[in-house]
Structure 1
Amino acid sequence: MTRPGTMLNGFDASVPANETPRARCPYCERPFRDEDLCALHLGESHWEACTDAEREAYEEAYDAESDALFLFQLKVVAALVFLSLGLTYTYAIVWT
């Protein structure tokens, strides 16, 4: 069962009854599971109202998220390369 929440920009922000959000946006009260997600939200949605500390937290969270995304993309490309090479070698061995 979930607690009734508000619709925020078409997003249902209700929190499950057995959970407590780790962070909340001080401007729109949207709940977040992580402080970094809240910092990213503040930088994207409330940049003009942010304090210097909130902007610095946004920049740190953005850099960390960018690094994690780049690493994920490298892993996906490596997996696709190995998959294509594996299929090519399998095709060459089986059909020759």
Structure 2
Amino acid sequence: MTNRGGLGRGPADVPVSELEVPQGETPAARCEICDVPFPTTEQLALHQGLAHEAELSEHEKAQSIRAYEEEQESLGMFRLKALFALVLLYFGFLLIYAAMT
């Protein structure tokens, strides 16, 4: 996988204590390469594609790419919803200001 840009913190940036699973809970997935726990298999696929691309099989690379594309689609929808909410808020304040003056 190539540069994704703006990926945020990865396991190398997070202290090990934050990566430990709380007692009594079981992670949904665990990276076989670096033994980091993940709450979902989608997050594991994203992690593997970003941190261990060279060690992955073609099937695992395809899963990682699919997870990345689904994540981008979800983020795009969130951004549209957030923009819509901000536009509504702006015009709401504009109408209130116009009514007050």
Q: Same fold (TM over 0.5)?
A: yes
Instruction: Flag structure 1 segments of 5+ consecutive residues without an equivalent.
Output: 1-7
Query: Could you tell me which residue of structure 1 aligns to residue 66 of structure 2?
Result: 60
- Give me the identity figure in percent: 35
**Greater relative CO (CA pairs within 8 A, separation 6+):** 2
Larger Rg: 1
How does 1:42-57 map onto structure 2 within 5 Å?
A: 42-57=48-63
| Count of matched residue positions in the alignment of Structure 1 and Structure 2 | 88
Question: Is 1:70 matched with 2:76?
Answer: yes
In structure 2, runs of 5+ residues without a counterpart are 1-10
Match of 1:84 in 2: 90
Equivalent residue, structure 1, for 2:21: 15
| Bigger share in strand | 1
CA distance in 2: counterparts of 1:9 and 1:42, whole angstroms = 13
